[in-house]
Structure formats: structure tokens, C-alpha cells
Structure 1
Amino acid sequence: MFLTGLAALAVVPTLPTAARDLDGVALFPLVAGCFVAASLLGGVLGGHWADRAGPQRPLAAGTALAVVTLLVSGASTSIWQLAAGRFLDGLAGGMVAVTINTAIGRAYPDHLRSRALALMSACWIVPSLIGPPLAGLVTEWWTWRAVFFGLAALTVLPALIVVAVLRGPSWAAASQQPSGDRPSRPPRPPRPPRPPRPALMVATAVSLGAASAQYGVSGWDTRHLLFAAVGFVLMVVFASRLLPAGIWRAAQGLPATVLLCGMGSGVFFTLEAYVPLLLVTDRGAPPLVIGLAFTGAAVAWAASSWVQGRLLEHWPRHRLVVAGALVQAVAVAVAVAGTTPATPAYTAASAMVIAAIGMGMYAPSLTVLSLAHSPAGRQGYASSAMQTTQNLGQTAVLGVSSALFNACLGSGATDAVSYGAAFGLLLAPCILAALLAARARST
């Protein structure tokens, strides 16, 4: 998780510069969207692979693939190669995230899961402190390619060691033990029949739909609108096959938990995408400031996650979800205020930090609830569903906000009004999540 966080946080601030050097600024939404779309596919494949053979194999594969993606992206000669590298990176990241959650679900007892998840969040602290600012300086003083190649050189040896450990027989045997049960406990009831594994075509269709939608929102003409429409149709038709039944009506238990994950993730990801864009295009902020904003958000997320895992571990999880959603609503309000010329230039940057505080309470609590609601031996399915709806939420919320933003610009509105409309739209999922949190309650 430490290696994943270092690569993820260091690479993101360099992508706008890379897109500019590769003459692909117009396709920048596709570069960002490829990562999200592939994460969706990687989460589905990793979750079902973990249920069939244990989490060690998909985790090892994702770790190795993460190094390859850095080399592919760093050697990019076109925006399409950079997009391909980001796609592979998303595939690896989705597999790693799901299999880590699955391993925690199998290896830790119920009362320690929140602490283990908080530890995973804490692994982002050092990368968040050094990754974005250092990457910004390297990009400004040298080249963005040095960031990718440097990360590959830094992580290849630890990645090989991790793969070797995960392939060891002792770790493989330990990872097969269900849910961290102690030998003294009575045996669990027989496992229910596993639902059929979704076809690869279904996961691929959803992933392609997400990528198509992200490409569609990068422009405002007939061709882009067609891609956006096709992408959203594919996601609507096929996504329900990857998610728990009853998700669209927020049924009690796992369906509501999974739906809430998509809402919160969509709000945070949209703020993370548009706040830096606002600072660069409307406020003239330097790249180093953008990196520091990402650093502050990552630290705030980790600190909030630590608080919920240590100091608030006895609170009902659904109440922490309500608190996180309300904090996100405050972040949205701050972002809207930051679009007005009367506010300081970097007011909007604080919205990223506030939203990260909300996500630090929101995301781990939903993960704990999803593991509590998952059937015995099906933690991989629950983690995969959470990863899928997280990526779908990012795509859908960002897509709708982008469409509103472009519509405002097309109608002659100012940049401040367009950004304000895109941010203001995010209040709806925040309020809805706070209202629906009780449906995710664990009995």
C-alpha cells in the first residue's frame, strides 16, 4: 500500500504537463478516465480471483503490473500511449485495493478490521508528504518522464520482494483462513452457494463504458456527446450485473453500503479533479501549490481515518458515514465560495482538505460495514462491488458535473459561474448519502 500510494500521489500532479508536452490537452479527461475505468475492471477481476484462489495471487500480480505501468507511461510518445499506461495502472490499482481488503476480511477478527484499514490509510502519510511536491519540482526543473522512471527504479526491487513473499506457501495457507476466526470459536455454518462469476465481457463492457463516458465529457460536440451517451448506456445496462441486487433502491445492508460508497467517492473525485483545474486556469496557481493541496488532502484523509479507527471505534459505523457526508457537504460549500473573486485565491484548495477529512471517516466505515454484510467466504465479492461502485460513482458524478460545466461555458457564463455550478451540483449526493446511511446499519 505504501508503494501504491507513493506512485499514485506522485504521478497525478505531472499528468497535465505530460498531456501538454504530448499535444493531448484536449484528451486529458481520457487520461484521467482510463485509470478509473481500468480500476473498475481490476476490482472485478481481483475480487473474484481472490474468492477462487485466495488474495495472494491477484495481489502479487497487481504489484508487479504497477511497476510495468510506470515504464509504459514514462516512455510515452503520444497521448494515447500515456492513456494506455494509465489504463494498466488502474487495472493494477483495482486489483491491489480489492485484494488487500479481502485479505483483511479473512485474516483479522471483526474488532480489529477498522484498525487494519486505518493502518492502510496511514501508509499514505509519507507518500503524501513527499510525493506531490517532489514530483512538481522534478517536473518543473527537469521533465515529467523522470518522475515515472524514477518511481519505477525505486519500486522494482521492493515489488519483487513482495511478490516473492506473497507466493510463499506459509502466506498462502494463512490467507485461506476465513475471516480471522480463532480455533476456539464454534465452526461457521456451511457457506451459501456462490453466485456465478460475472463474465469477462460484462466487466469489460462496464470498463469501456466508463472510459467512453470520460472521453465524451472532454468535448461539447456531436461526436463527444455520442461517446458519452454510449458510455452511460453501457454502464447502466451492464453495471447491475456486477453489483448486489437492490442497489438502485438502496436496499438494507450490502446494497445500500455499496451505493453510499459510489456517492462519496464521486463527490471527492470530482472536487479533486476540478479544484486544481480552477486554481490553474482561473487563479494562476503554480504547480507546487497544486502538489501541496494533494499533500494536505492525503494527510487529512489518513489522520481522519486514524481517528475513526482509534478514538471513534465504538461509534456505530453508519453514524460515522453521516458525519463524513456532512463534512463533504461543507467542503462543497467552501469550493463554491472559492470560485468568487472576493475570496482569497486559494480558498478552494482547502475544500480538498475538508473533503478528505470527510472521506477518512466515510470510506473505512463503509468498508467495515460491507465486510460485516458480506456472506461467509464472499469478502472478495463485497470488496469487488465496493470498488466497482466507487469507480462508477466517480465516472457518473464527474461526468454530470463536467456536462453542466461545459453547458454553462457554452451558454456564455463566466468561468466562476461555471465552476460554481459544477461544484454546487455535488451537494445533492452529499445530502442523499446522509439520509440513506441508516440503511447500511450493521445489526
Structure 2
Amino acid sequence: MPDRPAPAEGLFSREYAAATSLFAAVMFLTGLAALAVVPTLPTAARDLDGVSLFPLVAGCFVAASLLGGVLGGHWADRAGAHRPLALGMALAVVTLLVSGASTSIWQLAAGRFLDGLAAGMVAVAINTAIGQAYPDRLRPRALALMSTCWIVPSLVGPPLAGLVAETWSWRAVFLGLAALTLVPALAVVALLRGPSWRTASAPPPDGAPRPALLVAAAVSVGAALGQYGVSGWDARHLLFTVGGLVLLVAFAPRLLPRGTWRAVRGLPATVLLCGLGSGVFFTLEALVPLFLVTEREVPPLVIGLAFTGAALAWAASSAVQGRLLERAPRHRLVVAGALVQGVAVAVAAVGTLPGAPDPVAASAMVVAAVGMGMYAPSLTVLALSHSPRGRQGYASSSMQTSQNLGQVTVLALGSGVFNAFLGAGSSGHGGYRAAFVLLLVPCAVAALLAVRTRAA
């Protein structure tokens, strides 16, 4: 009898089961720590007499993840993904303890900054590890699984954390997450001590550009200053906004591949589109709930259901692109994702019309999540395909940096348009509508430039 063919390797085959399971657990807990604590931050700021500094606390996580992503990618290329991933997990536990034990608003802000640093390192290190250790055929599925594990916590994390904070204490949320993260952190350190992970990376090519960590720190500080600055419109806030903008303009290009702003074919265009898509989605996620609360007085339960629906839509769309559409050209999935995001923006704008039912605007978040489920994993696959061996960490950190810059920049532009319309005497509905219409521009640009991300 002829020999039976060997079973096809999968994410949970003997060779990859341990790594896949641990990576999935790490991404789930990292996402839970990032998303679950959000409802508790206003309560924490109030209890610590720091309501006026709440914008800084809220913005610290994204600002620090810029630095964490660059640090993690830089380190992963030089020494393998195991070291930044292990340190990131250990730091995640420490930062949750720091936040949970806060006695001042500044300690809470420091904890959130360190948490963003850890999250940036972990996300980039896991993407790099997948690029270094998984075969090409399994990468889309692995990345889709990681995306799902990051998003799924938003199904239960925010309402559960809000319940714990209301019935017990907001500190219990941070301390409980630290306890949950401790065991996976120890398991990751044990797994990545193996020789296969230590030798997974190749020496970087001579003369390859390496971003200076001081540059990454300047960009991180610039993002934090900008987010604090847009929280008010007096002279002091304007000064912070200008200072943050100067730092971003001066230093951000040094963290991205040369030619990113010109959408040069290959990795630069891929990195650029990552920032555009992420900026559109997270701006919708910020402004749509704000519109529903301030203009329509929608109950929190409805907004919570919108977040849950968006999480489910992202996970389902990501799974579809990872399995059912794994043979489709990735750049075409990017086009489809950008167009779906454009539809979501249009839905949000229609939802601001006086006669539109409340669920119309809320549904925009769900539609946008469908687009991101196709868009984000496909761009990550393309970025890894454009990266030579030994440079996956640089590509992953560039994507992370672009994603965070996109969130900061697009949200700031949308907020600026909104406030400009209010200053001109427009209604709140008109201001939100103008901000949503503005988001059609990055959607159209991403759809038109997607062909430049095509793999060779």
C-alpha cells in the first residue's frame, strides 16, 4: 500500500501548538488590559482628583505604544523576538500593579504610559515571531487569530470592568488583570528560552537603517503633547499642540520606511495605508459614541452593544480573510476593506441627519469593523512579504508606528473640523457630519493606493 501523505501542518499541529496557544493567550490578555480598563479611567481620575488631566491619562497608552513598537522591533531584529516579548509581558504585569496602586493622577498616567510601552513591544514581537517562525502558508491564519484575540476582549472586558469598578473598586480591575497576566507571562518566558526561538532571526543586513530610540521617544512625547493639547482651546493648550506637532513632523518620518509619505511601492505604501485605515476606524470609534451621548442621549447599553457588534464583525471578517479568502490577492482585500470603511463613514454621516434613527450611526462602527477585519491582517501579511529575512521586526514596528500615528493624526483632524464648525455657529449635528465627511478622504486615498502594496 502506498504511504499515506503526511498530515498538513496547521496552527495547532504538534510543532506550532504551544506557540500558537501562548501567543493567542498573550494577545487576548494584552487586549483585555488595553480595552477593559477604559471604562474605569474616569472613575480613577475623579478619585485621584485629576479630572483636568484625564486627556493626558487617556492618551498615554497610544503615545507610549509608539515607543514600545519601535523598541520591540529594533530589539527583535537584533536578538530575536523572544527577548522583547518576554520583557513586554513582565512589564505588563508590573504596570498593572503600578496603576492599581496609584495614589496620584500622575502615577496613574505613568502606569498607563508603561502599559502602552509593554503593549507595543508585545504586539510587534508576536508579529515578528510569526514572520520568523511560521511558514508563509500559516502566516495569514496566525495573524488573523492574533487579530481576533485582540478584539474579542471588547465583548466582555469593558462591561465587566465597569461592573467591578461600580460594585467594588477600579483598583480591583488593574490588580485582577495583573493576576490574570502573571501565569501567561511566566509561560511565555519559559517557551521562548528554547534554542529554536533564539536562532529564529537572521543577522540584519549591513547598512540597514535602524531608528534611534531617542527619535522614537521624541515621537511618543509629541503624540502625548498633541493629545493633551487638543483637550482645550486656550493659549496653553495651543502651545502644547504646536509643540507636539513640531516633534511629530520633525521625527516621525525617521521611524518609517523611506518613501512612506510618497507611497512608494512595497513596504512604504503598506505602512502608509496601515495608518490611514487605523485612523479612520478609531476616529469613528471615538466620535460616533460621543455623538450618540451628547446629541442623542443614547443609553450606555446601546453604545456597549455597538462596541460588541464591532468586535464580532472584526473577528468574523478577519477569520474570513484568513481562511476563505487566503488565495485572494492581498492588495485586493485592502481595496475592499477601504471601500467598506468608506461605506461606514457615509453611514455615520447619514446618522447625524435629524430624522435618522439612533441605530444608523451606531451601525457605522460595525460596518467599519468589517472593513478593518479585511484591511489590517492583509496589510500585515503584505508588510512581512516585503521584508527580507532579519528585517521583520523593522517592518512590524513601522506598521505599529504608522497605526498609532494614524490614530493620533486623523482623530485630531476630525476633532479640529468638528470644533471649527461649532466655532462658526454650526449645530453639534453639523459638526459631527463634517468630521465624518472628512474621513472619506483617507478611505479614498487608501483604495486608490492599495495597488502599490501588491506583493511581487
State TM-score, norm by structure 1: 0.92
Residue 353 of structure 2 corresponds to: 340
- After superposition, residues 254-293 of structure 1 pair within 5 angstroms as 254-293=267-306
1:216·1:228 contact (CA, 8 Å) conserved in 2?
yes
Q: Which moved more, 1:70-79 or 1:264-273?
A: 70-79
For 2:175, what is the secondary structure of its paired residue? helix
1:284 & 1:421 partners in 2: Cα distance?
20
Q: Which moved more, 1:373-382 or 1:254-263?
A: 373-382
Superposed CA offset, 1:213-253 (max 9, x none): 11111111221112111111111111111111111110011
Q: Which of 29, 34, 49 does residue 8 from structure 1 map onto?
A: 34
2:353 & 2:95 partners in 1: Cα distance?
39
Q: Which of 64, 69, 73 does residue 99 from structure 2 map onto?
A: 73
Deviation at 1:335, TM superposition (A): 1.5
Superposed CA offset, 1:399-438 (max 9, x none): 1112222222233322212222222211110111000000
Q: Which of 231, 237, 247 does residue 218 from structure 1 map onto?
A: 231
Change (3 A) 1:360 1:126: closer
Q: Which of 145, 150, 164 does residue 138 from structure 1 map onto?
A: 164
> Does 1:309 find its partner at 2:322?
yes
2:269·2:453 contact (CA, 8 Å) conserved in 1?
yes
Supply the AA of the counterpart residue of 2:360.
T
Deviation at 1:151, TM superposition (A): 1.6
1:361 & 1:55 partners in 2: Cα distance?
26
2:301 & 2:176 partners in 1: Cα distance?
19
Change (3 A) 1:195 1:206: same
1:66·1:93 contact (CA, 8 Å) conserved in 2?
yes
Residue 197 of structure 2 corresponds to: 174
How many percent of aligned residue pairs carry the same amino acid?
77
Q: Which of 403, 406, 430 does residue 390 from structure 1 map onto?
A: 403
Q: Which moved more, 1:419-428 or 1:366-375?
A: 419-428
Deviation at 1:125, TM superposition (A): 5.9
Q: Which moved more, 1:194-203 or 1:111-120?
A: 194-203
1:155 & 1:177 partners in 2: Cα distance?
25
> Does 1:105 find its partner at 2:118?
no
Deviation at 1:98, TM superposition (A): 0.5
> Does 1:229 find its partner at 2:255?
no
1:24 & 1:416 partners in 2: Cα distance?
30
Q: Which of 416, 424, 439 does residue 437 from structure 2 map onto?
A: 424
Q: Which of 168, 175, 189 does residue 149 from structure 1 map onto?
A: 175
2:222·2:243 contact (CA, 8 Å) conserved in 1?
yes
Change (3 A) 1:278 1:75: farther
2:80·2:200 contact (CA, 8 Å) conserved in 1?
no
Change (3 A) 1:17 1:274: farther
Deviation at 1:281, TM superposition (A): 2.4
Give the number of aligned pairs: 430
Deviation at 1:81, TM superposition (A): 2.6
Change (3 A) 1:54 1:211: same
Deviation at 1:26, TM superposition (A): 4.3
Q: Which moved more, 1:358-367 or 1:21-30?
A: 21-30
1:112 & 1:97 partners in 2: Cα distance?
18
For 2:76, what is the secondary structure of its paired residue? helix
2:393 & 2:303 partners in 1: Cα distance?
35
RMSD: 2.0
Residue 407 of structure 1 corresponds to: 420
State TM-score, norm by structure 2: 0.89
Change (3 A) 1:310 1:280: same
Q: Which moved more, 1:209-218 or 1:406-415?
A: 406-415
2:53 & 2:364 partners in 1: Cα distance?
26
1:192·1:375 contact (CA, 8 Å) conserved in 2?
no
Supply the AA of the counterpart residue of 1:359.
M
1:347 & 1:25 partners in 2: Cα distance?
32
2:266 & 2:31 partners in 1: Cα distance?
30
Q: Which of 256, 266, 270 does residue 253 from structure 1 map onto?
A: 266
Change (3 A) 1:78 1:415: farther
Supply the AA of the counterpart residue of 1:352.
M
1:58·1:99 contact (CA, 8 Å) conserved in 2?
yes
1:258·1:389 contact (CA, 8 Å) conserved in 2?
yes
Q: Which of 241, 248, 256 does residue 243 from structure 1 map onto?
A: 256
Q: Which of 119, 134, 148 does residue 93 from structure 1 map onto?
A: 119
Deviation at 1:56, TM superposition (A): 0.6
2:185 & 2:301 partners in 1: Cα distance?
29
